[in-house]
Structure 1
Amino acid sequence: MGSTETPPPRHRPPHVPRMGAAARGTALDALVPSLRFMTGLVIAALLIAGLYAGSSILVPLALAFLLSFVLEPLVARLKRIGLPRLPAVIAVVLATLMALGVAGLFVAKEARELSAQLPSYQTTIRKKLRALRQELRAPGMFDGAKRTLDIVQREVEAAGPVLPGGGGTQRAVQQVQVQPPQLTPAQQAMAALGALSGPLTQAGLVLVFVVFILLDRVDLRDRLLRLWGADLHRATDAMDEAGGRISRYLTMQLLVNVTYGIPMGLGLWLIGVPGALLWGALAAVMRFVPYVGPLIAAAFPVTLAFAVDPGWTLVLWTIGLIVVLELISNNVIEPWLYGSSTGLSALSLIVAATFWTALWGPVGLIMSTPLTVCLLVVGRYLPQLAFLDVLLGSRAVLDEPTRIYQRLLADDAEEAIELSVAQIEALQGSVPAFYAQIGLPVLRMAVGDHARVATPEHRLRLVEGMDELLDDLQEQYPEPIVPSAAPRVACLGGKWEMDHLAARMAAHALSLRGCPAQTWAAGPATAEPPQGLEAVRVACVVWLSPQPAAAARHACRRLRRQWPHLRIVLALLGEPLEDLPAEGDGALLGADAVATSLEEALAQVAQLQGGPAGEAFEVAPVPAGDAERVQALLASGALDSDTLRRLCQHAAQRAADIFDVPFAMVSLVDQDRQTALCSHGRLPAAEEGEPEAPACDTLPRELSLCGHVVASGQPLVVPDIARDARFAGNPALRERRLRFYAGVPLRDAAGHVLGALCLLDTQAHVFDARETRLLKAMAGDLMAGWADAPVPAPAAAGSATVGQIVPQ
């Protein structure tokens, strides 16, 4: 029997744990951002290479789209008078070609006359150049150094090696000049035709593209919308904004160039420069080329002035004229006409000009601004390309709270203080407004980042920086001296350091409002409860936690047990609007009042302190010259016109439907009252089971929000009246249970504000700036129709009081 051997055991490597599926998934997820970034770079490189390689087709196409933005308004105007689109396009294109041809003939005529005069200026040019040469050869401050360098150079050359070939001297090299062959007239004509073939081909392509773009504009728009995707709202807004910005920019650029070229031509004609009209036209055309064009246009008249005048007077006058026109155009005309028409930053304009010039040459320089505007709009409306809006746009990418927050994180409290003081000055010195609009948002950002991304070092920097900032603001804006030394209001931070900082803001704001307050170091939810509250009547407890209800209820009970006489205001400043307790639910949390904003907290504290009820809301002021406005309202005959009432009724109905609110109204404000000329809808009950709110047809002027619109002449938006300290105590608004108001002024042709187009609701709303602009545009359309409508003469002109009109 054969023996069997047991195989030797294999050597096992050290234990290496296998990567599980979850770990592999995490590693792949970590690689996704890098892969996306690399893919984006590759796609960008391919796009740039495609733009460069296809420039022969893309440049004429881009120029054609650019020209179509200029010519489309003319085509649309011809269509409005009844001309079909094809004849309208042909007529506009032919008129444009004729205008260009006439301009070309004029320029050619001026150039021919000027070229005929140039030989007569040769003597002057020679004399000036000879005089300049003598001036340059005259002894100067560097002549000694130059002679020394010449001597050194000769000595070095003399000490150099001797060329072979006998003797020590170097023979002069004979120069040979190659003369080009003489071309026959036919060859010269063919060479000129070959040089012009490229530009002529490009011009022909541009003309063909322009015609077809103007003819198929609607179809091209539909195709671009389909390429954008299914979101027609976003795509429509993007195309409208891009078209509006480019058209506005080109129109304003044309106006700027014309307002520069005409004074240039007239000025050169007055000072005696030949070909003045030619140089004015050249200056207007060359300013379409950014940065380089004005320099090129200025070189020609300056050179001609040098050649014409034996002295230097004409040259100096020409340079002075150009400098003055440039200063006026760059600092007055362009900011006035351009405004924010492009939305591009100055640096992005320079970078874009460099990029498109390197890509497409001089034509790319001309089109750099419109093309970059298109990229800006695409980045604004396409989330995947949002970085373009950040890189190219002129609007600030960081709001003021974020800027101050970043400076504090960077341990730069000094710059944070400078930014804060600048914002207080912008708010007309209102420190409470600064705390409400900027200071508290900084603390909210700190609360949100505390457990997510903040490091201990960042938290320490933020707390120390905010302390330094608040100390500096309290020193620069000291509290008024009050007779009583003991504070009557205690501001307490709910639990942690951010709450304490917010309490410091509230105490400073209360003291500046004439209500002495002091901050206690210990909060009601801390281990050591606050002490020494015997002389305090009202306590304002500030919370910035995301969900403070349970902790706030416990803190209020703790304060009640130890200090039963306290009136407690809970300032819940870190909650979203929809997650806060409803109005009047302060008792559920054990407090006398609940505030959701700093302004509301200040008003609640003042009310619990025993302030008069009239101070709880702002009365609508009466502006200067109001009697003239009231007289204009009476003279308009609006109160007696059924035509205007029907027109306003239609506008109110449209506003209520578009903005999806239950009630819209067109109101007129006379000397004493706000009167509803017409209204649409009704105010629903604030809560289920309650009766409907009373009508808003008439109100005393001092209690009406439309009175504030008339007084300021500006739109007024109140997202939540119950949470707004300016209007929360208004008895007329409380009676009608109004929570939301948005109103814009109705201004007549003379500029008098007769009333307001307003939206109302018994529920709070969020109303952004874009919706405000839309409501303002609707009010402008209403007043435009109002001006065209027949209005009867007023029945009596002596009364200054408008009768009450209640729409049926």
Structure 2
Amino acid sequence: MPRTDSPQGANASVPPSAAGGRDGLAALLGLVPTLRVLAGLAIAALIIGGLYAGRTILVPLALAFLLSFVLDPLVVRLKRIGVPRLAAVLLVVGATLSVLGVTAVFVTNEARVLSEQLPQYQNTIRKKLRSLAQQLRAPGMFEGAKRTLDIVQSEVEAAAPALSGSSGARRRAVQRVEVQEPQLSPAQQALAAFDALKRPATDAGLVLVFVIFILLDRVDLRDRLLRLLGGNLHRATDAMDEAGERISRYLIMQLTVNVSYGIPMALGLWAIGVPGAFLWGALAGLMRFVPYVGAFVAALFPVTLAFAVHPGWSLVLWTIGLIVVLELISNNIIEPWLYGASTGLSILSLIVAATFWATLWGPVGLIMSTPLTVCLLVVGRYLPQLAFLDVLLGSQPVLDEPTRIYQRMLAGDPDEAIELSVAQVEALRGDVPAFYGQVALPVLRMAMGDHMRVATPEHRLRLFQGMDELLDDLQEQYPPPPPVAAASESGHGPVVCLGGKWELDHIAARMAAHALALQGWPAQTRAFGPLTAEHLEGLALEDAQVVCLVWMSPEPAAAARHFCRRLRRRWPHVRIVLALWGELLEPGGVQDDAQALGADELTFTLAQTLARIGELQGLELRRAFEEAPIPRDDAARVQALRASGVWDNEALRQLCLHTTKRAVDIFDVQQAMVSLVDAEMQRPLCSHGRLAPPGVTEAEEEEALRAGMPRALSPCAHVVAARRPMAVADIGRDARFAGNPVLHARGVRFYAGAPLRDAAGHVLGTLCLLDSRPRAFDPRELRLLQAMVDDLAASWRGSGVAAAPVPRPPPPAPSATVGQVVP
């Protein structure tokens, strides 16, 4: 009897109508992605068509919105001093129109004066053009080629048939006809001028009306836009705030840059003697609003005029030199200084956007291309449905370095992956262990996540071969130094690094061995394989003192416990460090987990692994953390801290406590504190919340907080030295703090701090946030933390504390050679 549980038998038992309906439903479901793409393309085409068809009204409206971004800050300032909004809007618009009118009158007068002077330069222009024509007709390097072409042309014409000659004669006999347009009367000329100015005047009037009403109804328009952006009020508010901030900053800074370019241009042209200097300066400032081509168009006019009015070439060279110098100063000094941060758009997206908007809306679209594209970028950043706009238009890298290296490995291009890796090592100042911990291990984590889901055998082979080539190259470029003296004197054998189960574990074990060897401790790897008696016999761990067992699997507990038990039974003297690098485990109960798994130490990062192995061997390895640097003016800073009197002011302590309580609630962290950094120690002025490290009571933690921590181990000291906010998303995965014993003992995994300054600008300490869980902390949150610290510092200064005068340090001694101050 045939089997009925086969796929054919199962299908045979289904009625044809049901099978056909199921197949049709599957076919329709398969078409859903295609239909979505087609629907998106259709919607995009409709939007582009609407933008082009409605440009008559959309262009003035867009110009009005952009102008409102520039004028609204002035209106807000007038409102703050008590001016009603209607009066403030009228004042700002009137002042703007006055400035534009004065500028237009000035430019018109300069153009009239220049037009009156141009006939005086006709002889110079004629002589210059005749001289150029003579130089072009003079024998040159291509004269021989020209003669050869003339001979060939004459021979071809001589060999042509007579018919062509006769037709040529007829063509030469044709007379030219010149069509002269009739002269217009004054009335007709006035009507023609009115027709030419009617469209610009109408657009200007519409822009003026739109600007006034947008400034008057800004709050209502904001509410309506928030309603249109969707139900997530937080996300919509952030999108509008960021778009308004970026566009306002861009337009105001662009205006400042153009003015700072146009005025020196006018003065420079006037100094070297170019006619109409102030007209060309105004034109240069105006044309720089047009991306890319505006500066070249503005430079064309003064260079051409300098060529025409001066018999020699010196004026042309002076003009070109002035323009080049101003461009270099503006592009490399003025713009980076004033802009501070870019618009967030990539160069390619700026070029494409300029072409797109210029095609739709003409020159006005070219001027507005950057602000409009910034709006699209912000919308794509905050609306998930349009996230592709952020990817296409943004200047931020869409792939981090681990992902780029991983992708090149999958593509079978290990050479480029090695180049990227070497560049990262050089960026880390040759710190190969830091590269392994921050870049290479994330590559292995991605590979482990894709190993059983999407990776094909070919992809796995490329990855394994590429990682082997990468490690071989790094070991060749960065060979380990000779073993430390303590290693040879102690009689200990080398550290043996073993991969747990997979090929990826073995690659990670090679990284650990190389990192240990670079720190002066001999380390080796052994071949990995199935956990059999033959494999264990081949490990030969009799001389080993420490075994580092590396595991990249996301669920290694059962297999790691079995491996550790077999190692412990075969070599009881071996100290086992179990490195679980494939998953970020929650802190707490680390020692209990290590004992339960049969290991002596349990680590989650490469830096922790290096530190624990060093402790087990009793060696003085290189520190697995970075000590806080000491700033140059630290003596004056410490003196200002001691003279401030903050330690003895209970009112200030209560104020700081209120700030820390608010910080815990706002940022949703476990602990916040105000810390002051002295010459040797960091001590908290107040704190709120508790980290609850394992095995530590609340009283013991409070006692440890009051005792403070050494400045060299303090993250707050890094903030004091850098004088800017700092956020560490994961202490355990940051090379600066991963091996910090104090942070490890307290279970700190997240840190963020902002500097607390006194009236003289000295950084006395920080307001810091601590948590036992890693977390992301974006730049907006960091700016908010700094704003809270600034408010706290303002309250301090308002109470008269932290503003004590600080004696100035004595001036440096004069040099014994020339009597100048020694720097």
TM-score in terms of structure 2 length: 0.88
Say if 2:787 is the partner of 1:777: yes
After superposition, give the CA deviation of every residue in 1:136-180 in whole Å (9 maximum; x if it has no partner). 222233334434444544555563454899998666122222221
Q: Secondary structure at the match of 2:768?
A: strand
Say if 2:124 is the partner of 1:114: no
Q: Give, in angstroms, the shift of residue 723 of structure 1.
A: 8.0
State the distance in 2 between where 1:282 and 1:793 align: 50
1:493-532 to structure 2, matched below 5 A, reads: 493-522=499-528, 525=531, 528-529=535-536, 530-532=538-540
1:59 match: 59
Residue ranges of structure 2 left out of the alignment (5+ in a row): 1-14, 809-823
Say if 2:74 is the partner of 1:71: no
2:81 match: 81
Q: Secondary structure at the match of 2:579?
A: strand
One-letter code aligned to 2:800: P
| 8 Å Cα contact 1:744/1:775 also seen in 2 | yes
After superposition, give the CA deviation of every residue in 1:231-278 in whole Å (9 maximum; x if it has no partner). 111111111111111111112211221221122111111111112111
Q: Give, in angstroms, the shift of residue 714 of structure 1.
A: 4.7
Q: Give, in angstroms, the shift of residue 653 of structure 1.
A: 2.7
| 8 Å Cα contact 1:584/1:593 also seen in 2 | no
State the distance in 1 between where 2:500 and 2:594 align: 16
Q: Give, in angstroms, the shift of residue 734 of structure 1.
A: 7.0
1:131 match: 131
| 8 Å Cα contact 2:673/2:767 also seen in 1 | yes
Q: Give, in angstroms, the shift of residue 368 of structure 1.
A: 0.6
Q: Secondary structure at the match of 1:568?
A: strand
State the distance in 1 between where 2:677 and 2:643 align: 14
| 8 Å Cα contact 1:600/1:725 also seen in 2 | no
Q: Secondary structure at the match of 1:361?
A: helix
1:544-583 to structure 2, matched below 5 A, reads: 544-578=552-586, 582-583=590-591
1:388 match: 389
| 8 Å Cα contact 1:407/1:415 also seen in 2 | yes
Q: Give, in angstroms, the shift of residue 116 of structure 1.
A: 1.3
Q: Give, in angstroms, the shift of residue 128 of structure 1.
A: 1.1
One-letter code aligned to 1:699: G
Q: Give, in angstroms, the shift of residue 280 of structure 1.
A: 0.9
Residue correspondences, number: 782
1:360-439 to structure 2, matched below 5 A, reads: 360-439=361-440
Query: Which moved further from structure 2: 529-538 or 333-342?
Result: 333-342
State the distance in 2 between where 1:566 and 1:76 align: 72
| 8 Å Cα contact 2:604/2:732 also seen in 1 | no
State the distance in 1 between where 2:84 and 2:806 align: 51
State the distance in 1 between where 2:341 and 2:726 align: 24
Q: Give, in angstroms, the shift of residue 345 of structure 1.
A: 0.8
1:803 match: none
1:178 match: 179
1:248 match: 249
Query: Which moved further from structure 2: 138-147 or 719-728?
Result: 719-728
| 8 Å Cα contact 2:512/2:606 also seen in 1 | yes
1:626-775 to structure 2, matched below 5 A, reads: 626-641=634-649, 644-679=652-687, 681-683=688-690, 685-686=692-693, 691=698, 694-695=701-702, 696-702=705-711, 704-717=714-727, 740-761=750-771, 763-770=772-779, 771-775=781-785
State the distance in 2 between where 1:517 and 1:23 align: 60
After superposition, give the CA deviation of every residue in 1:481-522 in whole Å (9 maximum; x if it has no partner). 126498421100001100000000011111112222111112
Residue ranges of structure 1 left out of the alignment (5+ in a row): 1-14, 799-808
| 8 Å Cα contact 1:553/1:589 also seen in 2 | yes
One-letter code aligned to 1:766: R
Residues 521/102 of structure 1: CA separation in 2 closer, same or farther (3 Å cut): same
Say if 2:330 is the partner of 1:302: no
| 8 Å Cα contact 1:719/1:764 also seen in 2 | no
| 8 Å Cα contact 2:517/2:523 also seen in 1 | yes
State the distance in 2 between where 1:316 and 1:349 align: 32
State the distance in 1 between where 2:622 and 2:476 align: 32
State the distance in 1 between where 2:336 and 2:212 align: 34
| 8 Å Cα contact 1:357/1:363 also seen in 2 | yes
| 8 Å Cα contact 2:640/2:804 also seen in 1 | no
Say if 2:27 is the partner of 1:27: yes
| 8 Å Cα contact 2:496/2:524 also seen in 1 | yes
State the distance in 2 between where 1:287 and 1:796 align: 47
After superposition, give the CA deviation of every residue in 1:539-593 in whole Å (9 maximum; x if it has no partner). 1111111111111111111111111111111111111334997453111111111
Residues 345/66 of structure 1: CA separation in 2 closer, same or farther (3 Å cut): same
Q: Give, in angstroms, the shift of residue 72 of structure 1.
A: 0.7
State the distance in 2 between where 1:212 and 1:271 align: 46
Residues 169/175 of structure 1: CA separation in 2 closer, same or farther (3 Å cut): closer
State the distance in 2 between where 1:22 and 1:501 align: 47
Larger helix proportion, structure 1 or 2?
2
One-letter code aligned to 1:296: V
Q: Secondary structure at the match of 1:694?
A: helix
One-letter code aligned to 2:259: V
Q: Give, in angstroms, the shift of residue 785 of structure 1.
A: 4.2
Residues 219/337 of structure 1: CA separation in 2 closer, same or farther (3 Å cut): same
Residues 325/365 of structure 1: CA separation in 2 closer, same or farther (3 Å cut): same
State the distance in 2 between where 1:497 and 1:294 align: 58
Q: Give, in angstroms, the shift of residue 341 of structure 1.
A: 2.3
After superposition, give the CA deviation of every residue in 1:308-348 in whole Å (9 maximum; x if it has no partner). 21111111111121122222222333333335321111111
State the distance in 1 between where 2:729 and 2:135 align: 76
Residues 123/655 of structure 1: CA separation in 2 closer, same or farther (3 Å cut): same
State the distance in 1 between where 2:169 and 2:310 align: 53
RMSD of the TM alignment (CA)? 3.1
